Amino acid sequence: MKLQGKVAVVTGAGSGMGKAIAALFAEEGAKVIAADINRAGVDAVVADIVKNGGEATGVTANVAVKEDVENMIRAAVNAYGSLDILVNNAGIMDNVEPVGALSDEQWERVTAVNLKGPFMACRAAVNIMREQKGGGVIVNNASVGGLFGARGGAAYVMSKHGLIGLTKNIAATYGRENGNIRANAIATGAVNTNIGTTMTAPDTLGLAAMGDTGPMRSGEPLDIARVALFLASEDSGFVNGAVITADGGWTAR
């Protein structure tokens, strides 16, 4: 098993990609802290993991709230004695608003979850990982919106560009310490999850900017979970500061 004995925190683990990542990591031997704002979703995920012979603990956490994030990281150490892997998966969409139509409230809502939350989690995690002999691994679930300008609205695109920048900065800074901490990102394309429910009234100008070229196909949560497993395991031991595009070829056109 590729993650035998490792301790992993996964945000947004109550559904979608986070749920698939938590389940796959547990199958591969990790002890999982499954964190999500949705307590019922977390409880269901933990129950499934335990039923299948894995080990997991559920934590209710809003990643936009500092106290919740710090409690989530602390829960890993308190429950299992270490923190080896952090997967920042939780995220929300905007309404594809271009900058001229973007309100302060929408900007703050999207960046709080998509960028501030991962920043706070990374900050707490690296200070634990630096003290561990084995270091640690951070996997940030970004988006093709972090690579291009028209795969979301201004707030979403900026937040995902920022998340990729954060990933590279962590890799460049803490990878110098004998490769003690690795950080990589996944630029996901269209995946069949409930993230679309966070879009309530898509902006027509923003949709037009995306053009007629849509995804070649939608992925499934397990597709992304397998990429996350590769980045979290020693299979990617020489990969640091990278962005892996997992979009079914969407951006290849």
Active site residues: 156
3-state secondary structure (DSSP) of residue 9: strand
The partner residues of 59 in beta bridges, in order of sequence, read 35
What is the C-alpha separation between 136 and 157, in angstroms, rounded? 28
DSSP letters spanning 49-69: HHHTT-EEEEEE--TTSHHHH
Residue 189 C-beta-side C-alpha neighbours within 13 Å = 18
241: left (phi over 0), alpha (psi -120 to 50) or beta: left
CB 180 within 8 A of CB 240: no
Question: Torsion angle, CA of 205/211/216/221, rounded to 10 degrees?
Answer: -20
CB 167 within 8 A of CB 243: yes
Angle at 114 between CA 131 and CA 85, to 5 degrees: 30
Residue 177 C-beta-side C-alpha neighbours within 13 Å = 18
CB 156 within 8 A of CB 203: no
Strand order in the sheet with 31-36: 55-60, 31-36, 7-11, 85-88, 136-141, 181-188, 243-246
